[in-house]
Amino acid sequence: MNKQEFIAAVAEKVGFSQVETAKVVNAVLDVIQEQMKAGDKIVLTGFGQFEAKVRAARTGINPATGASIKIAACKVPSFKAGKGLKDAVNA
- Tens of pLDDT, residue by residue over 32-76, are 999 999 999 999 999 999 999 999 999 999 999 999 999 999 999
- Would you kindly state where each structural domain of the chain is located, as residue ranges? 1-38, 51-83
Percent of the chain having pLDDT more than 70?
100
Q: Where does the pLDDT of residue 9 fall: very low under 50, low under 70, confident under 90, or very high at 90 and above?
A: very high
Mean pLDDT of the chain: 95
Of the candidates 49, 42, 39, the residue with the CA atom closest to the CA atom of residue 86: 49
Q: Where are the alpha helices (DSSP H) in the chain?
A: 3-14, 18-37, 83-90
Taking the model in full, what pTM does it have? 0.79
